[in-house]
Copies of this chain bind each other. A is one copy, B any other.
Amino acid sequence: MAVVDFWFDFASSYSYIAAMRIEDEAERAGVRVRWRAFLLGPIFAAKGLVDSPFNLDPAKGAYMWRDLERLSEKHALAWRKPSVFPRSSVAAARIGAAFADEPWLPAFARAVFRLNFVEDAAIDALDGLQDAVVAAGGPADAAARAQQDPLKTALRAANDEAVARGLFGAPSFTVGAPPGTELFWGGDRMADAFAWASRHER
């Protein structure tokens, strides 16, 4: 079965929409998805940005918030504009990276996205994250263990992988490993990524 890596940041508004859509779309396309949490912050910081591009550029920011309203309606997804943006996503991302291959990870990830973009709640409280892990079917100590060595290094490795694949935004989709990685940026390109994987990966 062809595999697509789905790269997301729990702080990213467009990642929320993609996370909610991707399993249905993948099933239709006959593709398997690997959920890959990473952090946009260090990638933005490396090019000198001190905040989200949506905060630094008022026109782009205004567009994004309106677009999210429209996209939520189009895909019949709940949506509330978060009162804090971007929220600190490092604690949740450490869980995502440390347990990337666990069967409960996608349900956990969707729960965190709902906290941020439906409940307008913080996503860096360990007890809330732990509740989300357990509700998704994961072990009771996962959230805490992911914040410490050796598991916390998984997020750094994921970010290194993201950079090696040319990522500069989220959500992104990749097919294959370097040097032959095909990168697709933005939720609008999800179907293109699946089609590419189906044609080129067997």
Residues of A within 8 A of B (CB): 47, 57, 59-60, 62-63, 66-67, 70, 74, 163, 166-169, 182-186, 188-189, 192, 196
- Given A60-B169, A63-B185, A67-B185, 16 more A-B residue pairs with CB atoms under 8 Å apart are A47-B57, A57-B168, A59-B163, A59-B166, A59-B167, A60-B168, A62-B166, A63-B166, A63-B168, A66-B183, A70-B192, A70-B196, A74-B192, A186-B186, A188-B188, A188-B189
Chain copies in the assembled complex: 2
Chain B residues in 8 Å Cβ range of A196? 70
Complex Cα distance A9/B42, Å?
32
- Given A168-B57, A188-B189, A189-B188, A183 and B47 contact (CB-CB distance below 8 Å): no
Chain B residues, CB < 8 A from A167: 59
CB-CB under 8 A from A166, the residues of chain B are 59, 62-63
A66–B188 alpha-carbon span in the complex (Å) = 17
CA distance A168 to B56 in the complex (A): 12
User: In the docked arrangement, what's the CA distance between A169 and B163, Å?
Assistant: 25
Asked if residues A168 and B47 are in contact (CB atoms below 8 Å), the reply is no
Q: What are 13 A-B residue pairs whose CB atoms fall within 8 Å in the complex? A: A59-B163, A59-B166, A59-B167, A59-B168, A60-B169, A63-B166, A63-B168, A63-B183, A63-B185, A66-B182, A66-B183, A74-B192, A188-B189
Chain B hits for A70, CB < 8 A? 192, 196
Q: Give the residues in chain B near A188, CB-CB below 8 Å.
A: 186, 188-189
- Nearest opposing residue in chain B for A195, CB measure: B74
Distance between Cα atoms of A188 and B186 in the complex (Å): 10
A70 to B196, CA, bound (A): 10
Residue of B nearest to A49 (CB): B57
Q: How far is the CA of A184 from the CA of B67 in the complex (A)?
A: 8
Closest to A184 in B: B67
Contacts of A163 in B (CB 8 A): 59
